[in-house]
Amino acid sequence: MDSVSDRTSSKHHQPTSNFDLTSPKKHQPTSANREKQPQPQPPPAIPKPRPDDLSWMPPLGVAFVACNSIIAIYRSRDDIPTVAFIIAANIALALLFLSIRSHEKAPAESKRKHKIWIWSMATLLNVGFAWKVTMILPLWMSLILWALVAVSTVGTFYLYFLFAHGKN
């Protein structure tokens, strides 16, 4: 009993934690002390954005394209082929977006039909913009641009239909 009373009355040995740092032996906290210790809390999880959180983005993009198209049509009001190109590009872009959206919602059996529409609209936009841009480029740059359009068209066809055959 004297040893217990000596430990509690000793002024030199007053542990401030569950571990006795003055002793060379490593002491493990008892289960009673372990329960009293506050457990470290894991950092709060970063919430993942729900699909509804960004639902304002597509309408904003459509509004941006529409405003730019209206301005372009107004500035080109005397050039009928340019106005027709702007309208055709907007229709093709809208069809591309609708095709992508319907592809996402379609059952697996009918996705190939949607892929054809997506590839067709993307190719139409690539060819249309290349045609419009090559009008102002020198010949050597036009040839490079048409080569890029051909590579991207053939490459997307291969990746979309041949390489990923059987995949969605």
- 97-140: pLDDT as tens digits: 888 888 888 887 888 888 888 999 999 999 999 999 999 999 99
Is 0.85 topped by the overall pTM?
no
Query: How does residue 29 score in pLDDT terms, banded at 50, 70 and 90?
Result: low
Q: How far apart are CA 20 and CA 79, in angstroms?
A: 89
pLDDT at position 143, please? 96
Indicate the residue type of 152. S
> What are 53-58's contacts with CB under 8 Å, separation 24+?
58/97
Is the pLDDT score of 67 beyond 70? Answer: yes
Q: How many helices (H) and strands (E) does the chain have?
A: 6, 0
Q: How far apart are CA 53 and CA 104, in angstroms?
A: 19
Arithmetic mean of pLDDT over the chain: 79
Percent of the chain at pLDDT > 70 equals: 69
Q: Return the closest-CA partner of residue 72 out of 93, 90, 98.
A: 90
Domain boundaries, the chain: 58-163
